């Protein structure tokens, strides 16, 4: 495992995954979603504008196990540069559009504590750790609708409505 940064400066860490979890998003996509011109600042601005993280080398079997545990994400290749200068392609978990929130939200205390702990345990840049420490959080209890207002929610409601209509039609025929 190696500390690294995402090479593409347009990729940002945002808290727009269902439940207030993190994902990567292009800066121009974030501005377009907010109706901006690309001049808007991200809600939580990193000190250098780069996303920092850790690159892990995994076996295929271990990676497949991880994919099964990460609900609502898709795997995308991302160019990263380790702190010692090595550039490689990593596979990153990015929100599936069905699980992506329309607006950024504050992460939960418990979730961000794990992110901060991982950053410290892997010796990420101290300035980036300070950035993570400056992100405001919310308690995990009683999250509002804005944390679950994703297309997958509406697909679930549509499915329930469809099942209800089929049930009514079945009983109406008999």
Q: Residues with catalytic annotation?
A: 70
Binding residues for substrate: 111
Structure tokens, 96: 């599936």
Length, in residues, of the chain: 174
* Contact call for residues 103 and 16 (beta carbons, < 8 A): yes
Burial 146-158 (b: 16+ CB within 10 A, else e): ebeebeeeeeeee
In three-state secondary structure terms, 92 is strand
Binding residues: 111
* Contact call for residues 113 and 63 (beta carbons, < 8 A): no
Complete edge-to-edge strand list for the sheet that includes strand 87-95: 52-55, 2-6, 73-82, 87-95
Rounded Cα–Cα distance for residues 152 and 160 (Å): 12
Give the E-state strand segments of 7-104 in sequence order.
11-17, 21-26, 52-55, 73-82, 87-95
């Amino acid at each position: 495992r190696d500390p690294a940064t995402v090479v593409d400066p347009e990729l940002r860490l945002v808290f727009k995954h269902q439940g207030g979890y993190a994902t990567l998003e292009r800066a121009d996509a974030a501005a377009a979603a907010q109706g901006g011109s690309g001049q808007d600042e991200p809600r939580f601005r990193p000190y250098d504008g780069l996303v920092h993280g850790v690159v892990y080398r995994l076996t295929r079997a271990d990676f497949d196990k991880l994919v099964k545990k990460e609900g609502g994400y898709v795997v995308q290749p991302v160019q990263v540069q380790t702190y010692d200068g090595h550039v490689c392609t990593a596979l990153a978990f990015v929100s599936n559009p069905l699980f992506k929130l329309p607006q950024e939200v504050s992460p939960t205390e418990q979730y961000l504590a794990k992110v901060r702990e991982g950053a410290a345990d892997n010796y990420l840049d101290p300035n980036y750790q300070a950035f993570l420490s400056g992100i405001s959080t919310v308690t995990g209890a009683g999250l509002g609708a804005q944390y679950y207002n994703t297309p997958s929610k509406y697909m679930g409601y549509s499915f329930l409505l469809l099942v209800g209509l089929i049930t009514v039609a079945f009983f109406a025929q008999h």
